[in-house]
Chain A
């Protein structure tokens, strides 16, 4: 299938999705939303894809919503921003967080507005040294969407989340790592190879088990300790029935390298 606003290919068991509107810093329009959704939906079902790498072309990762689509002339009726959130941004965030396989994000440049929060919704976020994160919404009179107000206080604490979202400051990759917003910073020229190596490594792990871990971590914020303990029991019950668990134990006992199949 031909895509206009993204590039995607497979490398081993890794599905690589590259946002590709470099002239617009990979900001989202409706067509790009539809293409991203189609690819992710496909990979969600595909047992051959065992990890996903999300990144961008050019000097930006993603600048959020393409404001060219959103020009409001005085006198025009106010646009219903809730509608595009309902239709595109919320399903995208749910798709990334519910994806039953690990999603690595390589933030190659500026990640602003929804673009920042889409990156943060991924499981492992690696940024180029020159990349930056900006909760730009407040500068336009808007509210952080795509899960920003939910995720940020959990990642960096309330005090920092408040300042970041009320002031809209630019946060460098190093600052983002230091405050626990992302996992790792690498030199610009090493970003893609390092991220790909990590995605490939994850794609050889017990995918089904990794999916259950994601589910547990993502549920934790809503659950009490008691609920979470019960969820861990249920997920462990399922994990213990997987082929990969048998393989893992057998490989351990026989002192060999396990060969996981992802189920």
Chain B
């Protein structure tokens, strides 16, 4: 696929890299960008060599928001028929681990993309915010929902109603970020994390990711039932036997994704 807005790296040790690459627009996420990400992720889902994906920007900017030029011309009917929700849905549907490497600004749609990711590695000095309210609009790609589920009502309300961003340090304290590091090492550490996950049994990783994401959708008793079903299902995989045998035989497991 020929991408204009993103750079896609070769698959390295099971890890695919997507770099947002419109620095002149601070990596603003226009429809084209989301479509390209969705397309690449769909390919990665079908490619057994890909076991984790890292999505990042540059040192100054992860993504500073949506493309306002694109949005300003849409009226209520236009927005009602917009393809954008389906583009986000494709990213949300990706079934392998998606890791965000964040330096600089992750604002508006940029933060919503971060919230679509399973893990977040951030450089000190990164800023996370939903400034939509300052434009007379509000988050429209899961910002209000995912942020309040992840961080609680008080933090979500403050961020969404004032539009003021929080620092990477604060985001780490609040649990929005799993790992904090010096900015020059963000991409490297995100890849380290991705490689570590890529070395696990792929089917177990996918099942576990699905189980954790289901947490937002279900009651505890339903969630526990789903977890148990996935747990039982994994017993039918070859990798499960390999994993347990390798542990008991004190050797490194050789997973095959079967």
Residue in B closest to A237 when the chains form the complex, CB atoms: B185
B184 within 8 A of A: yes
B59 to chain A, nearest CB (A): 13
B7 within 8 A of A: no
CA distance A215 to B125 in the complex (A): 13
Interface range, B side: under 10
CA distance A225 to B185 in the complex (A): 20
CA distance A215 to B198 in the complex (A): 33
CA distance A231 to B181 in the complex (A): 8
Residue in A closest to B125 when the chains form the complex, CB atoms: A98
Residue in B closest to A241 when the chains form the complex, CB atoms: B184
Write out, one digit per residue, whether chain B residues 31-71 have a CB within 8 A of any chain A CB (1) or not (0).
Answer: 00000000000000000000000000000000000000000
Residues of the B chain whose Cβ atoms lie less than 8 Å from the Cβ of A235: 182
CA distance A235 to B124 in the complex (A): 13
Residues of the B chain whose Cβ atoms lie less than 8 Å from the Cβ of A238: 182, 184-185
Main secondary structure of the interface of A (DSSP, over half): helix
Q: How many A-B residue pairs have CB under 8 A?
A: 10
Residue in B closest to A227 when the chains form the complex, CB atoms: B180
B189 to chain A, nearest CB (A): 9
Residue in A closest to B189 when the chains form the complex, CB atoms: A234
Residues of the B chain whose Cβ atoms lie less than 8 Å from the Cβ of A237: 185
Interface range, A side: under 10
CA distance A234 to B182 in the complex (A): 7
Residues of the B chain whose Cβ atoms lie less than 8 Å from the Cβ of A234: 181-182, 185
Residues of the B chain whose Cβ atoms lie less than 8 Å from the Cβ of A231: 182
B142 to chain A, nearest CB (A): 32
B173-212 residues with Cβ-Cβ distance < 8 A to A are 181-182, 184-185
Residues of the B chain whose Cβ atoms lie less than 8 Å from the Cβ of A215: 182
CA distance A234 to B179 in the complex (A): 13
A209-255 residues with Cβ-Cβ distance < 8 A to B are 215, 231, 234-235, 237-238
CA distance A215 to B184 in the complex (A): 13
CA distance A215 to B185 in the complex (A): 15
Most chain A beta-carbon neighbours within 10 Å: one of B181, B182, B184, B185: B182
Residues of the A chain whose Cβ atoms lie less than 8 Å from the Cβ of B185: 234, 237-238
Residues of the A chain whose Cβ atoms lie less than 8 Å from the Cβ of B182: 215, 231, 234-235, 238
Residue in A closest to B169 when the chains form the complex, CB atoms: A222
A98 to chain B, nearest CB (A): 9
B101 to chain A, nearest CB (A): 15
Write out, one digit per residue, whether chain A residues 75-90 have a CB within 8 A of any chain B CB (1) or not (0).
Answer: 0000000000000000
A223 to chain B, nearest CB (A): 11
CA distance A93 to B180 in the complex (A): 24
CA distance A231 to B182 in the complex (A): 8
B185 to chain A, nearest CB (A): 6
CA distance A139 to B258 in the complex (A): 76
CA distance A235 to B185 in the complex (A): 9
B171 to chain A, nearest CB (A): 16
A231 to chain B, nearest CB (A): 7
CA distance A237 to B185 in the complex (A): 9
CA distance A250 to B181 in the complex (A): 30
CA distance A216 to B181 in the complex (A): 13
A37-75 residues with Cβ-Cβ distance < 8 A to B are none
CA distance A169 to B51 in the complex (A): 65
Which B residues are within 8 Å of any A CB, using their own CB? 181-182, 184-185
4 nearest CB pairs, A to B: A234-B182, A238-B184, A234-B185, A234-B181
Q: 5 extra interchain contacts, Cβ-Cβ under 8 A, other than A234-B181, A237-B185, A238-B184? A: A215-B182, A231-B182, A234-B182, A238-B182, A238-B185
* Interface CB pairs A-B, < 8 A, 10: A215-B182, A231-B182, A234-B181, A234-B182, A234-B185, A235-B182, A237-B185, A238-B182, A238-B184, A238-B185
